[in-house]
Amino acid sequence: MPLTSTRPELAGDFGMVTSTHWLATQTGMSVLERGGNAFDAAVAAGFVLQVVEPHLNGPGGDLPVVLWSQADQRVHVVCCQGTAPAAATIEAFTDLGLRTVPGTGLLAATVPGAFGGWLTMLQRWGTWSVRDVLEPAIAFARHGAPVLPRVSATIDAMASTFVEEWTTSAAVYLEGAGAPSPWSRLRLTTLADTYARVVREAEAAGTDRDAQVDAALAAWYRGFVAEAVDAFCRTTKWLDTSGERHGGLLTGTDMAGWRPTVEEPVSASYRDTTVCKTGPWGQGPVMLQQLRLLEAVGLPDQLDDGDPAWPHTVLEVMKLAFADRDAWYGDPDFADVPIEALLSDEYTAERARLVDPGSASSEQRPGSPVGREPRMPEPEPVDVLAGAPRRGREGVGEPTVRKDEALGEEVPKVELEGDTVHLDVVDRWGNVVAATPSGAWLQSSPVVPELGFPLGTRAQMFWLEPGLASSLRPGARPRTTLSPSLALRDGRPWLAWGTPGGDQQDMWSLMVALRVLHGPRGVEQSLQAAIDAPMLHSEHPISSFYPRVPQRNVAVLEDRWPQATLDALRRLGHDVRIVDGWSLGRVTAVSRDGEWLRAAASARGAQCYAAGR
């Protein structure tokens, strides 16, 4: 079945930028036009995304980056995932009567890593100054950016919580007692002041660019930003998903002791492509496990949506790979993650034999690499969660497809969910960036009044069950879902891509990769057609976010799949759920294909854009 596309795929030889918001894309492209490189463009665009999509990411959030440096001739991963506070022990939570880390509020805050990550990338590989990359975000924050309908809906859904509980957020996001209307102007003036002060403190260090970046990092992690965060967590208490009011555990000392890390990627090959991902402190390797399993099981050279065999195989492989994620992934500085064994030929062959072409599995089946016994987390029973207070559960997330149906509840989808953003850049020199910023959503935690932004809630991804790979440990990184991808051909960067979407990121990104790699040659080169093609994902894995309840054997497909395929998947045993035909994922991508640079962006959500020449 031929793939069609909603938009033209961009091609040129100067530079390409894609992101989940057109203003960020245009900001990044303007940097390339003015002589900046891909790293400068990504940083400037990343800061703009914090302002124009504040319901999806913020200055207090976190960030993974996978990049190709032309100067270094290699792939790097920049881990900008903040760590758990020193006081964040399992006992600290259970002593409060908690059985899970709250999905909102201050207790779930980790060190805000996005700022440090962006500036570390700027300092090491970029060319622009701190002022250069922050000026566009400061301008949008001070003078206002257009309010997306989803931003308006999110603020409206949170309005009563802001007025009655999170009063510091009411002062920032509400007009009187109501939400700003769609396409009005949202000014984040306190955030603009925060970033302007960072620029002033950077430039007070002199004219040397490295000294300015160091001074900006000092202002954030050891200066006025850290001081405000410390005081806010120590002296205030706010309603969270527990239904109680709690302060935070994050301190200025935690922030001062944190640094982003530059790491080697984890990689695996599929056909003639090598895919590079983050380490197992993120879910990135789950993409690699899926690809290895699919190569072992085998897919047709060309994927026909009228053939139910291949989506069945993909759904079954997703279940196996994500079961391993839930059993084995965690911060490798604190947990013994057998990543080499999980990607080995022997283990892959063993796992591939579990894929039954004639039947869908409803079991969670983690494997036993090198004979080690897997240990899966145990989510709270549904009846316990159903008895939790309704008040205070607004703004939990990051599920793009909400799981509250597991509790038998009707919950508005768009208005309350958190999510993520994504951007990709390739420049004329051959540098490539894929980045997936997230966290610190306006609906997830109250605003720190002196700074104009909320903290993140990534610690909700830890388990308060000892002995797991992703158990809560002071100083550990939560096993995040954020998962940019970069692929090589013949040792050179070929494709960078990613999407928002919580647990589903490495399902939707996988689907795009398969569409590209299994199309006829003309279609293979069409990123846009691959992104626009019908999507699917599995709800079978344990959710990384509240309420963390898996939906065993549930397969979610857009309604553009052929009816015969949907019926066949049901006969194979999948619990098929149909959603709107343009609702799963917001994938963006750039590629370096021969002499041309290419770019594409999803039409889903009507705000992702690509730009280039």
- Whole-number pLDDT of residue 416: 44
- Whole-number pLDDT of residue 526: 86
Is it the case that residue 15 has pLDDT exceeding 90?
Answer: yes
Q: What is the spatial distance between Cα 255 and Cα 172, in angstroms, rounded to a whole number?
A: 24
Instruction: Taking residues 22-32, report their average pLDDT.
Output: 98
Is it the case that residue 1 has pLDDT exceeding 50?
Answer: no
Is it the case that residue 426 has pLDDT exceeding 90?
Answer: yes
- Whole-number pLDDT of residue 394: 58
CA distance readout (Å), 8 to 12, 206, 432:
13, 46, 21
Per-residue pLDDT tens digits for 303-346: 999 999 999 999 999 999 999 999 999 999 999 999 999 999 99
What amino acid is encoded at 373 in this protein? E
pTM: 0.94
- Strand order, beta sheet including 423-427: 261-263, 74-80, 63-69, 432-435, 423-427, 15-19, 609-612
Per-residue pLDDT tens digits for 538-593: 999 999 987 788 899 999 999 999 999 999 999 999 999 999 999 999 999 999 98
- Whole-number pLDDT of residue 189: 98
Residue 133 pLDDT class (50, 70, 90 cuts) = very high
Pairing of strands 245-246, 238-239: antiparallel
Per-residue pLDDT tens digits for 342-401: 999 999 999 999 999 999 999 999 999 999 999 999 887 654 454 455 545 555 554 333
Instruction: Taking residues 399-426, report their average pLDDT.
Output: 56
- Nearest-CA neighbor of 544 among 592, 507, 588, 579? 507
- Whole-number pLDDT of residue 388: 52
- Of 2-11, 160-169, 593-602, the poorest mean pLDDT is in 2-11
Q: What is the spatial distance between Cα 300 and Cα 125, in angstroms, rounded to a whole number?
A: 41
Q: What is the spatial distance between Cα 169 and Cα 32, in angstroms, rounded to a whole number?
A: 35
- Whole-number pLDDT of residue 26: 98
Per-residue pLDDT tens digits for 526-538: 899 999 999 999 9
Greatest alpha-carbon span in the chain: 69
Is it the case that residue 156 has pLDDT exceeding 60?
Answer: yes
- Whole-number pLDDT of residue 5: 78
Is residue 159 within 8 A of residue 178, CB to CB? The reply is yes
Instruction: Taking residues 3-15, report their average pLDDT.
Output: 87
| CB-CB neighbours of 608 under 10 Å | 28
- Annotated domain spans of the chain: 148-186
Q: What is the spatial distance between Cα 347 and Cα 344, in angstroms, rounded to a whole number?
A: 5
Residue-by-residue DSSP string for 163-223: HHT-HHHHHHH-BTTBPPPTTSEE--HHHHHHHHHHHHHHHTT-S-HHHHHHHHHHHHHTS
- Nearest-CA neighbor of 308 among 604, 602, 536, 587? 536
